[in-house]
Amino acid sequence: MLRRLQIPLTLTWLTVLFVVPMPLIVLLSNGLSPLYASSALGIQAGVIAYSWMLTAVVLSTRPHWLDRLIGLPNIYMIHGILSLGAIALAFMHRTVLPSSGIIALTGNTAFWIFVGVGVWSMVFMAGWLTTRVPLLGRIKRFLERVFRHEFSVWLHRLNLLAVMLIFIHVQLIDIVNTIRPFMIAFDAFALLAAVLYIRSKLMQAFAARKGTVESSEIIAPGVLQLDIHVPSQRGSWEVGDFVFIRFPEIKGLREYHPFSIVSLPHRDARLRFAIRGDGDFTKSLVNMVKEGSVVEVLPPFGRYRRFLDERGDNRPIVIFAGGIGVTPLVPVALAYEDSGRPIRFLYTARTEDQLLYADELERWSLQEHCDLMLQAGRFTPDELSSAMLPNAVYLIGGPAPMLRSTRRLLVSQGVRADDICYEPFTW
Sorted by sequence, the CB contacts under 8 Å of residue 264 that are 6+ apart come out as: 239, 331, 334, 335
Residue 427 is predicted with a pLDDT of: 52
Mean pLDDT, residues 353-360: 96
Which amino acid is located at 103 in the chain?
I
Q: Which superfamily does 208-297 belong to?
A: Translation factors (2.40.30.10)
pLDDT for res 165: 97
| 400 pLDDT tier (thresholds 50, 70, 90) | confident
Residue type, 215: S
According to DSSP, residue 16 is labeled I
Residues of 184-215 as b/e, b for ≥16 C-beta within 10 angstroms? ebbeebbeebbeebeebeeebeeebbebebee
Q: Model's pTM, two decimal places?
A: 0.88
Residue type, 89: L
- Distances in whole angstroms, Cα of residue 294 to Cα of each of 132, 264, 308: 38, 22, 34
Residue 408 has pLDDT above 90, yes or no: yes
Determine how many CB atoms are found less than 10 A away from the CB of residue 365.
17
* 71-89 pLDDT per residue, tens: 998 999 999 999 999 999 9
**Averaged pLDDT of the chain:** 91
Identify residue 354 by its one-letter amino acid code: Q
DSSP 231: G
Kindly state the average pLDDT of the residues 39-57. 96
Torsion angle defined by CA atoms of residues 304, 308, 311 and 317, in that order, rounded to the nearest 10 degrees: 120
Same fold, 208-297 and 304-421: no
pLDDT at 268: 67
Per CATH, which fold does 304-421 belong to? Rossmann fold (3.40.50)
323 touches 347 (CB < 8 A): no
Residue 86: CB atoms within 10 Å? 27
Q: What is the pLDDT of residues 141-150, one digit of tens each?
A: 777 677 776 7
Whole-number pLDDT of residue 425: 67
pLDDT at 125: 65
Which residue stretches of 32-148 are H helix? 40-59, 64-70, 72-96, 101-124, 127-130, 134-146
Give the bridge partners for 396, in sequence order: 320
How far, in Å, CA of 375 to CA of 372, rounded?
A: 10
Domain chopping of the chain, boundaries? 6-205, 208-297, 304-421
CA–CA gap between residue 50 and residue 62 (Å, rounded): 19
What is the pLDDT confidence band of residue 1, given thresholds at 50, 70 and 90?
Answer: very low
Q: Give the mean pLDDT of 394-401.
A: 94
CA 263, CA 241: separation in Å to the nearest integer? 10
Give the Cβ contact number of residue 375 at 10 Å: 14
Contact call for residues 219 and 356 (beta carbons, < 8 A):
yes
CB 264 within 8 A of CB 329: no
Cα 65 off chain centre by? 14
User: Residue 406 pLDDT more than 80?
Assistant: yes
Q: How far apart, in whole angstroms, are the C-alpha atoms of residue 114 and residue 359?
A: 49
292 SS3 class: coil
- Going along 281-382, which residue ranges are E strands? 294-297, 317-322, 343-349, 370-376
What confidence score (pLDDT) does residue 235 get? Answer: 59
Q: What is the pLDDT of residue 426?
A: 62
Pairing of strands 294-297, 242-246: antiparallel
